[in-house]
Amino acid sequence: MPQRKATAEWRGDLKSGRGSMQFADYDGPYTFASRFESGEGTNPEELLGAAHAGCFSMALSNMLAQAGHTPKQVSTTASVSLEVGADGAAIAEIVLTCRADVPGISDEEFARIAGEAKTGCPVSKALAATPIALDAALV
């Protein structure tokens, strides 16, 4: 399997410094404000969320197809909560919100397979120390 790479650079101190992250065709800035406030730019949590949403969507689509229910569409949003506590900043929770168009499947079977995809996708496995919630429904 290929090895994937991303690069990040930070210049300056935490609050007034600036950084950039690069991978594939993406090159975007990040700052203290984009991470801990509402500033422009991205942050590691958004990128982690994008990776998790993409991985979960692919895993769920595969598992549904293997069960005989090829989906028309699987759409997932990952909300990553960053909290600052006495021990510093930490990712407190990730909520996966998934809506899927899957002909011929019951709500119960869909929920079961979505739960298996939540724990089975490679990004979920890598983030196993973080609580991951799932809100999955058929549309």
* Number of domains observed in the structure of the chain: 2
Q: What is the CATH number of the domain that holds 56?
A: 3.30.300.20
Q: Scanning the structure block, which residue is given the tokens 């909520």?
A: 95
Label residue 46 by pLDDT band (50, 70, 90).
very high
Q: State the pLDDT at residue 32.
A: 94
Q: Scanning the structure block, which residue is given the tokens 């998934």?
A: 98
Q: Does residue 68 sit in the same domain as residue 121?
A: yes
User: Do the domain assignments include residue 50?
Assistant: yes
Q: Does residue 14 sit in the same domain as residue 51?
A: no
Q: State the pLDDT at residue 2.
A: 87
Q: Does residue 25 sit in the same domain as residue 51?
A: no
Q: Does residue 61 sit in the same domain as residue 77?
A: yes
Residue 76, SS3 per DSSP:
strand
Q: Does residue 119 sit in the same domain as residue 67?
A: yes
User: Do the domain assignments include residue 2?
Assistant: no
Q: Does residue 21 sit in the same domain as residue 49?
A: no
**Which pair of structure tokens corresponds to residue 49?**
């969320």
Q: Does residue 60 sit in the same domain as residue 20?
A: no
Minimal CA–CA distance to 27: which of 48, 56, 2, 6? 6
Q: Does residue 91 sit in the same domain as residue 122?
A: yes
Q: Does residue 31 sit in the same domain as residue 54?
A: no
> In which domain, by residue range, is 126 found?
44-138
Label residue 45 by pLDDT band (50, 70, 90).
very high
Q: State the pLDDT at residue 1.
A: 78
Q: Are 61 and 71 in contact (CB under 8 A)?
A: yes
Report the C-alpha gap between 110 and 9 in whole angstroms: 42
Average pLDDT, the chain: 96
Q: Enumerate the H helices of 67-132 as residue ranges.
A: 107-120, 122-126
The pLDDT tens digits for 49-100 are 999 999 999 999 999 999 999 999 999 999 999 999 999 999 999 999 999 9
